[in-house]
């Protein structure tokens, strides 16, 4: 048995209930076969077996009190996956679906994504099964403080630097950073996604969405195409989706969908700048439901269905698809319908939003398919820029950061294509992203010996 098959089998046996983690490991390792054949020294040093095992995974109790004085206990996680090329780095997710499998899959993906950014960052991820929906500000604050009361001992600016993810935005980062600062009596770059007044970087909130669109634009340009006058389907309506929508509008595309976990809206007249501002206010300030958009702008609202399901069932065409909500949101049936309706490009703002079967369909039909670890790397790349600014005790302008983000996304795109070609899979962004990210980390691991 090859080391790759052997490693996948071992993960499936040892982590048998961790479905998402197995999916991520299988997806990455299957594309690494040519690296194992070309670099026997990596096999000899056990790199493949070592890279699927986190450095450590911490699970902790998070007790907190609601506004009525009732005590609740949630489970907290931090998986420090790999710090071969820099401190552990990756977001914190607050969502009821969070468990060890989801945090491990995200942490594992993060290793390769961070390596692709060209910045010195290792891979990690954390979170809790806490559901922020319907909670008051005071409850969110008490939960964030309780979460940091344990997390603080595992992180540090040179050790592990968390950021936001689903359910964790500027408000939550503020509460967590405030508590860390209080108990450590230190103002350091221990979290990214901070507010501008206390060490944040301009463009960090925009970076994942902008970066995804920059990456899609690079893919389109390989076929002489761009966003102008293209119909674009975006899923989600959170941080990543909002700024993806904003950037697509600027690039001349027409966005016709967004969703949340309750409903999808289809606005065939296009979401323009004003409507995009409405979504931002609705989701970030009023914390409302996307169905309110349909009442405001008199468009279609499909309750209980996600974007890809709605496009499929109603036969709606999209030239470009940007899944920006959550993992496994887009299945084989959805992919089939997208392809049949003329979709030419899929760039993943979310992490692992397409199922393995959906990815196969995109690849078989020669769709420009940018996997999340490449397409959404702009977020963590700009977190890396925030860390640099914190270390230098200075801040760059909006234009400077945006320019660096654009350069990084172009260089990730280039690295993916070069590595895909080097390993015999020309034009395959999945192989390109996985092999390019992996080789950088693997070489560093090799240099350290067996540690």
Residue 387 as a binder of ligand NDP (CB under 6 A): the answer is: no
Query: Which CB, 291 or 388, lies closer to ligand NDP?
Result: 291
Residue 231 as a binder of ligand NDP (CB under 6 A): the answer is: no
Residue 236 as a binder of ligand NDP (CB under 6 A): the answer is: yes
Residue 440's region, left for phi above 0, alpha for psi from -120 to 50, else beta, is alpha
166 CB contacts (<8 Å, ≥6 apart)? Answer: 93, 94, 95, 238, 326
- Name which of 394, 436, 387, 332 is nearest 86 in CA terms: 387
Among the listed residues 31, 101, 376, 389, the single contact to ligand NDP using CB under 6 A: 376
**Cβ 322 to ligand NDP shortest distance, Å:** 11
Binding piece for ligand NDP, criterion CB under 6 A, among 13-21, 158-166, 336-344, 384-392: 158-166
Dihedral pair phi/psi, residue 307, rounded to 5°: -55, -45
Residue 279 as a binder of ligand NDP (CB under 6 A): the answer is: no
- Name which of 203, 153, 199, 212 is nearest 173 in CA terms: 199
- CB neighbourhood size of 431 (10 A): 26
Among the listed residues 165, 172, 334, 402, the single contact to ligand NDP using CB under 6 A: 165
**Cβ 342 to ligand NDP shortest distance, Å:** 24
Q: How far is it, in rounded angstroms, from Cα 222 to Cα 207?
A: 23
**In what side-by-side order are the strands of the sheet with 71-82?**
56-65, 71-82, 123-128, 88-94, 160-163
Binding piece for ligand NDP, criterion CB under 6 A, among 29-37, 38-46, 319-327, 412-420: 319-327
Query: Which CB, 379 or 432, lies closer to ligand NDP?
Result: 379
Binding piece for ligand NDP, criterion CB under 6 A, among 238-246, 295-303, 360-368, 390-398: 238-246
Residue 370 as a binder of ligand NDP (CB under 6 A): the answer is: no
Q: How far is it, in rounded angstroms, from Cα 427 to Cα 419?
A: 9
Q: How far is it, in rounded angstroms, from Cα 278 to Cα 447?
A: 51
**Cβ 339 to ligand NDP shortest distance, Å:** 21
**Cβ 124 to ligand NDP shortest distance, Å:** 13
Q: How far is it, in rounded angstroms, from Cα 64 to Cα 85?
A: 36
Binding piece for ligand NDP, criterion CB under 6 A, among 12-20, 181-189, 237-245, 355-363: 237-245
CB-based contacts of 36-40 (< 8 A; 24+ apart in sequence):
36/2, 36/3, 36/4, 38/423, 39/442
**Cβ 348 to ligand NDP shortest distance, Å:** 8
Residue 128 as a binder of ligand NDP (CB under 6 A): the answer is: no
- Name which of 166, 205, 220 is nearest 370 in CA terms: 220
Size of the site for ligand NDP (CB under 6 A): 26
Q: Are 94 and 169 in contact (CB under 8 A)?
A: no
Set 89, 104, 113, 125: catalytic member? 125
Residue 306 as a binder of ligand NDP (CB under 6 A): the answer is: yes
Residue 379 as a binder of ligand NDP (CB under 6 A): the answer is: yes
Q: Are 266 and 314 in contact (CB under 8 A)?
A: yes
Residue nearest to ligand NDP (CB): 238
422 CB contacts (<8 Å, ≥6 apart)? Answer: 435
Query: Which CB, 231 or 351, lies closer to ligand NDP?
Result: 351
**Cβ 82 to ligand NDP shortest distance, Å:** 17
Residue 240 as a binder of ligand NDP (CB under 6 A): the answer is: yes
Let me know if 426 is a catalytic residue: no
**Cβ 98 to ligand NDP shortest distance, Å:** 11
- CB neighbourhood size of 382 (10 A): 30
- Residues in 322-361 that interact with ligand NDP by CB under 6 A: 324-326, 329, 349-351
- Name which of 337, 338, 308 is nearest 323 in CA terms: 308
- Residues in 192-211 that interact with ligand NDP by CB under 6 A: 208
- Residues in 243-262 that interact with ligand NDP by CB under 6 A: 259-262
**How far separated are the first and last CA of the chain, in Å rounded?**
25
Q: Give the pair of three-digit tokens for residue 249.
A: 């509008």
Q: How far is it, in rounded angstroms, from Cα 101 to Cα 103?
A: 6
Query: Which CB, 87 or 205, lies closer to ligand NDP?
Result: 205
Please provide the DSSP assignment of 428-451 as one string: -HHHHHHHHHHHHHHHHHHHH---
Among the listed residues 90, 167, 200, 253, the single contact to ligand NDP using CB under 6 A: 167
Name the site residues for ligand NDP (rule: CB under 6 A): 164-167, 169, 208, 236-241, 259-262, 306, 324-326, 329, 349-351, 376, 379
What residues are labeled active site? Answer: 125
């Amino acid at each position: 048995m090859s080391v790759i098959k052997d490693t996948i089998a071992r993960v499936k046996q040892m982590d048998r209930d961790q479905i998402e983690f197995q999916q991520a490991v299988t997806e990455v390792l299957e594309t690494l076969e040519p690296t194992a054949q070309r670099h026997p020294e990596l096999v000899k040093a056990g790199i493949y077996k070592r890279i699927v095992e986190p450095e450590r995974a911490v699970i902790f109790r998070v007790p907190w009190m609601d506004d009525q004085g009732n005590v609740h206990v949630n489970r907290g996680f931090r998986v420090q996956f790999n710090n071969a090329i820099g401190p552990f780095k990756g977001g914190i997710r607050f969502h009821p679906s969070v468990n060890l499998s989801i945090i491990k899959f995200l942490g594992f993906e993060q290793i390769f994504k961070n390596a692709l950014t060209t910045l010195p960052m290792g891979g990690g991820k954390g979170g809790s099964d806490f559901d922020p929906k319907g909670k008051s500000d005071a409850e969110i604050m008490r939960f964030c403080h309780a979460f940091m009361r344990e997390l603080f001992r595992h992180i540090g600016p040179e050790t592990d630097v968390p950021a936001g993810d689903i359910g964790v935005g500027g408000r939550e980062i503020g509460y967590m950073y405030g508590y860390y600062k209080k108990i450590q009596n230190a103002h350091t770059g221990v979290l990214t996604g901070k507010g501008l007044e206390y060490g944040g970087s301009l463009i960090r909130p925009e970076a994942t969405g902008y970066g995804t669109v920059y990456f899609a634009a690079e893919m389109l340009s390989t076929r002489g195409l761009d966003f102008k006058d293209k119909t674009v389907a975006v899923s989600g309506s959170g941080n990543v989706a909002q700024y993806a929508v904003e950037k697509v509008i600027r690039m001349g595309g027409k966005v016709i969908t967004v969703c949340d976990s309750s409903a999808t809206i289809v606005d065939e007249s296009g979401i323009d700048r004003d409507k995009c501002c409405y979504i931002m206010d609705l989701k970030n300030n009023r914390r409302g439901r996307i169905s309110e958009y349909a009442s405001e702008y008199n468009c279609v609202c499909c309750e209980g269905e996600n974007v890809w399901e709605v496009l499929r069932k109603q036969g709606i065409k999209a030239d470009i698809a940007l899944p920006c909500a959550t993992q496994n949101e887009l299945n084989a049936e959805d992919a089939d319908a997208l392809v049949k309706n003329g979709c030419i490009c899929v760039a993943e703002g979310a992490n692992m939003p397409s199922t393995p079967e959906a990815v196969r369909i995109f690849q078989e039909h020669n769709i420009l398919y940018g996997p999340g670890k490449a397409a959404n790397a702009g977020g963590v790349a700009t977190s890396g820029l925030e860390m640099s600014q914190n270390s230098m005790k200075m801040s760059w302008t909006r234009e400077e950061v945006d320019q660096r983000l654009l350069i990084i996304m172009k260089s990730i795109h280039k690295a993916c294509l070069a590595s895909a070609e080097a390993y015999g899979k020309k034009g395959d962004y999945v192989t390109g992203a996985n092999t390019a990210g992996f080789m950088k980390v693997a070489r560093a691991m090799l240099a350290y010996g067996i540690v």
